[in-house]
Amino acid sequence: MQVAVKPRGRVAWRAIAAVWAAFILAYSVLTVIGFLAHQTSHVHELFTTPIRAVDVRTNGGPIIVRTGTGSSVTVDATLERGLTKPSHSEEIVGDRLVLDAKCPPTVNVFCRVTYAVRVPVGTSVSADSGGESVTILGSTGPVDVTSGGGNVVLSGVGATIRVDSGGGSVIATGLDATSVSIESGGGNIHMAFESSPTNLSLSSGGGSVAVGLARTEISYRVDVSSGGGPVSTPIRTDPAGTNRISVSSGGGGVHIFYRAP
């Protein structure tokens, strides 16, 4: 038995298909035009006034922050444009440097700003990459990172650390931080400490969690939950310990161990 399709239904489907085809064609044309209009420019700035904190914000661009040997702050920004041009601003508020980059909420083919910032040792760093990667290298002050899905890499960071990667992986090595809070919607979390953290809170929606601790006499109060992956914690534990480790994984394995010296 055949079911006849009403003419009105055919017209509706044809209209939807036509609109979709027009959208695909328009997007393809804009992509080609953006490719032809692609340009790259660079901005270099040196700040010699005392700066104790740096805020870096972009709605779609990698961020790299590293410590230097001097007391000044240098900023290197790489601006890419296609159909639309990104904005880039620098502002000093008290002893805080604020870097802000945005692309218009349109077809942003080739529109982004990449930041490479060098700061003095001990400088507080706040970074929001809008979905791109964040890398922080060196002995900074407190670190606060939001990546919106981009991967996060930390190396040699001390003080306190807070990271929300939104789903990207987090890799942190050579840490001398006392208080660490990391949340990933599904990416892996891998960490290695040079000293003993006093408060470590890690949460992954599905990725694995691996923590390498410095071998000391300190015992940890450990609270671990995994939605299905294996759990291994061959370290000194004490339910009444003052150093706390809390780890939650929605499905990946959890491994807390003493790293090799």
Could you tell me the maximum CA-CA distance found in the chain, to the nearest angstrom?
A: 83
Q: Which residue has the tokens 């880039």?
A: 88
Position 68 scores a pLDDT of: 92
Is the pLDDT at 174 greater than 50, yes or no? yes
Torsion-angle region of 19 (φ positive above 0: left; ψ -120 to 50: alpha; else: beta): alpha
Position 36 scores a pLDDT of: 46
- In this prediction, residue 111 has a pLDDT band, given cuts at 50, 70 and 90, of confident
The 3-class SS string of 148-179 reads CCCCEEEECCEEEEEEECCCCCEEEEEEEEEE
Average pLDDT over residues 181-192: 94
The residue with greater pLDDT, 92 or 21, is 92
Average pLDDT, whole number, for the chain? 87
Least confident span in 24-28, 54-58, 89-93, 159-163: 24-28
The residue with greater pLDDT, 252 or 35, is 252
Q: What percentage of residues in the chain have a pLDDT greater than 70?
A: 84
What SS3 state is found at 60? coil
Rounded to an integer, what distance in angstroms lies between the CA atom of residue 230 and that of residue 249? 10
The residue with greater pLDDT, 109 or 121, is 121
Rounded to an integer, what distance in angstroms lies between the CA atom of residue 193 and that of residue 215? 10
Position 167 scores a pLDDT of: 85
Q: Contact 229/247 with Cβ under 8 angstroms?
A: no
Position 60 scores a pLDDT of: 82
Is the pLDDT at 205 greater than 80, yes or no? yes
pLDDT (tens digit per residue) in 121-146: 999 999 999 999 999 999 889 999 99
Position 252 scores a pLDDT of: 87
pLDDT (tens digit per residue) in 8-46: 556 666 666 666 555 455 445 445 544 545 688 999 999
Across the strands, what pairs with 97?
54, 92
Rounded to an integer, what distance in angstroms lies between the CA atom of residue 76 and that of residue 46? 9
Average pLDDT over residues 169-188: 94
Is the pLDDT at 202 greater than 80, yes or no? yes
Average pLDDT over residues 68-79: 94
Average pLDDT over residues 170-192: 94
pLDDT (tens digit per residue) in 222-236: 999 988 789 999 999
